[in-house]
């Protein structure tokens, strides 16, 4: 045991200079010498009066424990040597396993609150009676094509990227597409959208035939959704393609014909009246952006290869993953707190838990800086 003193100084913020150390381990303040001199004098006065009374403590030792004491002293000495050898620039000051309180303190918006959009039907952003998630019973996977897709995902795994994701510590959001996180002593800029797209693709494969579904309060007409999509510039419609109503009817027939496949394997439900009843619930607390729903329905009819089993599952999962990874500026601005909470406490924890990152995701991750580089700058100050 060594004597120590704890001193709490209350100083006007304008008298502080905090830009002298990258981790704020040290600060400077005005009148530093005068303040330290006064503290020294006060401590000296206290120590001078300590000789008037003294108390001596004696430790009682039980027989046979002297060797243990020697081992403790050796361990303590080795720890001191280790601390001396360890450099501040290499010290990891975060713990990837810790959780923040705000994960459990999100204030829910007013029930039945919706995002107004003239071109699409909005989803409710909280779990209430108008927007239910129904779980599916687990079933055994028997399709060889899906097993092969799962093996391909595992084969493409980048081990170093997986290690980074497993031990990441979320830092903050940059914009709707990018966020910052720390791994070890390094700070990374991550393309959240691209990582989400790969995450949703993999969850569709590994939860094949076992996905719960999001029940829509009001079924949506497929023909109307396709017609809305054809009005968008993204659809690339031209008069040579034919009448929009005829195209909508053709797309509707394809989706009704393939509805049993989507219902059984992916929990996407379209009834016989050509109405969309439910969407797959890929991640808990995450709902797809309703703004992009019409284009998603159109692309299911035009971009999914319904003829080949492997290509059918591959293209369906890719199109669905793209849809679920999309965001809307309107919805972000209307519920910014919900959006930020979703990224920090749903998406990035899901990266840590589920995502098996392939090599191409290295291009979506940028190392901004690390402590070694920061110390080269700030230790000169």
User: pLDDT value at position 156?
Assistant: 95
CA angle 169, 28, 89 (to 5 degrees): 35
40-72: per-residue pLDDT in tens?
A: 888 888 777 766 666 666 666 555 545 545 555
Reference 1, options 64, 76, 70, 62; nearest CA is 76
> Is residue 86 situated within a structural domain?
no
pLDDT for 150 equals 94
Say whether both 165 and 289 belong to one domain.
yes
| Lowest mean pLDDT segment, chosen from 25-39, 55-69, 346-360 | 55-69
190 in the same domain as 122 = yes
Q: Is residue 354 part of a domain?
A: yes
Query: Do residues 268 and 340 share a domain?
Result: yes
| pLDDT for the residue 18 | 83
In a domain, 54, yes or no: no
Q: How confident is the model at residue 132 (pLDDT cuts 50, 70, 90)?
A: low
Domain count within the chain? 2
Residue of 183, 206, 166, 173 whose CA lies nearest to 357:
166
What phi and psi values does residue 280 have, to the nearest 5 degrees?
-70, 140
Give the pLDDT band (50/70/90) at residue 96: low
Query: How many whole angstroms separate alpha carbon 174 and alpha carbon 128?
Result: 30
Does 197 share its domain with 337?
yes
Tens of pLDDT, residues 211-263:
999 999 999 999 999 999 988 888 877 777 778 888 889 999 999 999 999 99
What is the distance between the alpha carbons of residues 188 and 190, in angstroms, rounded to a whole number?
6
Higher pLDDT, 149 or 140: 149
Task: Say whether pLDDT at 113 is over 50.
Answer: no
Q: Give, in degrees to the nearest 5, the angle at Cα 297 between 135 and 204.
A: 40
For residue 380, being part of any structural domain is answered with: no
| CA distances to 3, 52, 66, 143 from 59, in Å | 17, 23, 12, 71
Asked if residue 267 lies in contact with residue 278, where contact means CB atoms within 8 angstroms, the answer is: yes
Residue 119 · residue 295 · CB < 8 Å: no
Torsions phi, psi for 292 (to 5 deg)? -95, 5
pLDDT value of position 188? 94
Residue 75 inside a domain? The answer is no
Domain membership flag for residue 61? no
Residue 29 and residue 149 in one domain = no
Read off the tokens for 227. Answer: 């017609």
Specify which residues 275 forms β-bridges with. 221
Sign of the C-alpha dihedral computed for residues 262, 264, 266 and 267 taken in this order: positive
Question: Which of 102 and 346 is assigned the larger pLDDT?
Answer: 346
Q: Which residue range forms the structural domain that includes residue 11?
A: 1-49
Q: Is residue 31 part of a domain?
A: yes
- pLDDT tens digits, one per residue of 284-324: 889 999 899 999 999 999 999 999 999 999 999 999 999 99
Q: Are residues 135 and 238 in the same domain?
A: yes
pLDDT at residue 11, as a whole number: 85
The DSSP secondary structure of 161-218, one letter per residue, reads HHHHHHT-EEEEE-SSSEEEEEETTEEEEEEHHHHHHHHHHHHHHHTTT---EEEEEE
Judge if 162 and 243 occupy the same domain. yes
Nearest 5°: phi and psi at 183? -130, 125
Instruction: Let me know if residue 72 belongs to a domain.
Output: no
Same domain? For 215 and 354 the reply is yes
Q: Are residues 110 and 43 located together in one domain of the fold?
A: no
Which is more confident, 102 or 114? 102
Q: Report, as an integer, the average pLDDT of 365-378.
A: 83
How far apart are alpha carbons 228 and 245 in whole angstroms? 11
Assessment of whether the complete model's pTM goes beyond 0.85: no
* Same-domain status, 189 and 283: yes
Please give the pLDDT value at position 264: 93
* pLDDT at residue 17, rounded to an integer: 86
Are 297 and 357 part of one and the same domain?
Answer: yes
Both 153 and 214 in one domain: the answer is yes
């Amino acid at each position: 045991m060594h004597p120590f003193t704890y001193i709490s100084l209350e100083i006007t913020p304008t008298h502080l200079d905090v830009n002298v150390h990258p981790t704020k381990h040290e600060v400077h303040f005005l009148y530093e010498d005068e303040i330290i001199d006064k503290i020294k004098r006060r401590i000296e006065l206290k120590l001078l009066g300590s000789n008037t009374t003294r108390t001596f403590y004696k430790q009682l030792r039980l027989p046979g424990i002297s060797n243990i004491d020697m081992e403790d002293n050796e361990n303590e000495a080795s720890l001191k040597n280790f601390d001396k050898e360890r450099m501040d620039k290499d010290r990891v000051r975060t713990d990837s396993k810790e959780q923040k309180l705000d994960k459990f303190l999100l204030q829910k918006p007013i029930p039945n609150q919706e995002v107004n959009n003239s071109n699409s039907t909005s989803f409710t952003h909280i779990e209430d009676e108008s927007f239910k998630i129904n779980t599916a019973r687990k079933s055994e996977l028997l399709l060889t094509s899906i097993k092969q897709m799962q093996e391909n995902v595992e084969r493409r795994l980048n081990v170093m990227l997986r290690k980074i994701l497993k031990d990441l510590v979320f830092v903050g959001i940059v914009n709707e597409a990018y966020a910052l996180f720390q791994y070890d002593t390094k700070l990374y800029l991550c393309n959240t959208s691209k990582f989400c797209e790969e995450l949703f693709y993999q969850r569709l494969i590994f939860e094949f035939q076992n996905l719960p579904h999001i029940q829509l309060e009001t079924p949506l007409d497929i023909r109307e959704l396709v017609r809305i999509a054809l009005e968008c510039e993204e659809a690339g419609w031209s008069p040579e393609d034919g009448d929009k109503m005829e195209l909508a009817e053709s797309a509707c027939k394809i989706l009704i014909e393939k509805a049993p496949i989507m219902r059984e394997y992916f929990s996407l439900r379209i009834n016989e009246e050509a109405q969309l009843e439910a969407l797959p619930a890929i991640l808990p607390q995450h709902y797809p952006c309703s703004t992009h729903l019409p284009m998603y329905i159109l692309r299911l009819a035009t971009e999914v290869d319904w003829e080949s089993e492997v290509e059918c599952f591959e293209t369906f999962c890719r199109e669905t993953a793209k849809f679920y990874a999309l965001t809307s500026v309107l919805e972000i601005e209307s519920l910014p707190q919900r959006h930020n909470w979703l990224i920090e406490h749903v998406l990035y924890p899901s990266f840590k838990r589920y995502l098996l990152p392939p090599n191409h995701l290295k291009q979506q991750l940028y190392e901004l800086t690390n402590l070694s580089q920061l110390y080269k700058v700030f230790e000169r100050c």
